[in-house]
Structure formats: C-alpha cells, structure tokens
Chains A and B, each alone.
Chain A
Amino acid sequence: GAGVSQSPRYKVTKRGQDVALRCDPISGHVSLYWYRQALGQGPEFLTYFNYEAQQDKSGLPNDRFSAERPEGSISTLTIQRTEQRDSAMYRCASSLGPSSSYNSPLHFGNGTRLTVT
C-alpha cells in the first residue's frame, strides 16, 4: 500500500500488560512521528525520529512509554504495564523530508485504537 500502515487496528488489553504498536511508514520517508489522540481532542505529540535517531521524546507521558526505529523504517511504540488512562487512538505519521522541512507534510496512518480494561 502507498500509505502509512499501522497494526493492529484495534488492541484490547488488560491493565498491567505490555503492548507493542507497529508503524510501517511510507517507503523512503525520512521522518516518523507518534501522536496520541483522545476522544474529542486533537492529536498530541509523543515522539519523532529522523532516520533511526530519536530526535525528541519530550511528549512521552512517562517512562512506561518507549519507541524505537532501529533500521530507519518500521517503528514500534511500546507501553509497559498499561493503565486505563493509556486508552486512546495512537497515530503514526511519516514525512518525506526531515522534520524541519516546510514542504514535507505529515502523512498519518489510520491509527491503533488501544483499550485498556
């Protein structure tokens, strides 16, 4: 497919379990971003990568959240010891150029809906 692919589409997990959310960016895109979107809100920045390097993780809520992009392509967002407040839509986006480029808009995936019971 030509777009950003995220899996799984839906994830239901019990409180205390770890989850791993996957993002497959558009081929050749340099930058990859993770956002979280609560119901009725706009996306909230979590972290982003240029190639395999994590440039900014200031949006990660706490140390239970981590992300990696080891080969500069696919990325995984991991949430350890999930809590009910982690329930949200997690969105990945990628952009062709580096994040500092005006002319390289973000392309968002359809998201992973995480529900922690």
Chain B
Amino acid sequence: DQQVKQNSPSLSVQEGRISILNCDYTNSMFDYFLWYKKYPAEGPTFLISISSIKDKNEDGRFTVFLNKSAKHLSLHIVPSQPGDSAVYFCAASARGGNEKLTFGTGTRLTIIP
C-alpha cells in the first residue's frame, strides 16, 4: 500500500507563476514531512521540511503547508524559475526524524519560460 501519494505525475507552470505540488498520506503516525528535489542523473536533494507541530514552514521561494486533519501537504514555489524544473518527492517519517523515510512516487515539474 502506498502510504505517501503524489497523485499528479507531472505539472507544467509558466515562469514567474506559482507552482503547487500536492502530497497525501495515510499513516497517522507520520509526524515529520520533507520535500526532495531531483535532477536527472543525480540523487535527490533536500529542499524543505515540516514537523507535525507546525502547519507552515517557509524558506525563501519555497513554502510547505501541512493539513493534519486532511493528511495533506503541499509545496508552493513562488515565483517559479526554469531551474525549478525537476522531479519533486514528498517524504514522511513516523519517528520524528530522518529514520526510515517513506517517499511518494514523485511529480515532474516543468517550468515553461
């Protein structure tokens, strides 16, 4: 069973606009959530995280929102830039840290110049 779901395999956004990537989870024990970004032929790179005691975390152009009641999180990128074109993975942990992350299947974001 897929405990972390990214239902949109791909997303295209105009440069300068907002990109919104969504992630849903089913395991209510998850208490720490992360987003990773992956370029072709490279390993995933950590982007931003949020613990379950918060509902929002911001880092520059990137903001992650967590809705615990809906078991939903989203990543907002604004403004979107061509370098943001990559695959984005949502991940979650049930142990409050980086132990045993469960990843989603990824969303390929394409920024259109």
Interface of A is mostly: loop
User: For the complex, is A44 an interface residue (Cβ under 8 Å from B)?
Assistant: yes
Chain B 90-113 residues near chain A, CB threshold 8 A: 91, 95-106
* Chain A residues close to B by CB (< 8 Å): 4, 31, 33, 40-45, 48, 55-56, 58-59, 91, 93, 95, 98-102, 104-111
Contacts of B45 in A (CB 8 A): 107-108
8 contacts between A and B (CB under 8 A): A33-B98, A42-B91, A42-B105, A102-B97, A105-B98, A106-B46, A107-B45, A108-B43
Cβ-defined contact, A93 with B105, below 8 A: no
Contacts of B98 in A (CB 8 A): 31, 33, 95, 99-101, 104-106
Cβ-defined contact, A100 with B99, below 8 A: yes
* Chain B residues close to A by CB (< 8 Å): 4, 32, 34, 36, 41-46, 49, 51, 89, 91, 95-106
Cβ-defined contact, A59 with B106, below 8 A: no
- Measured in the bound complex, the distance between the Cα atoms of B100 and A42 in whole Å is 13
Instruction: Considering the complex, give the chain B residue whose CB is closest to the CB of A111.
Output: B43
**A67–chain B nearest beta-carbon distance, Å:** 14
Contacts of B100 in A (CB 8 A): 45, 48, 56, 58-59
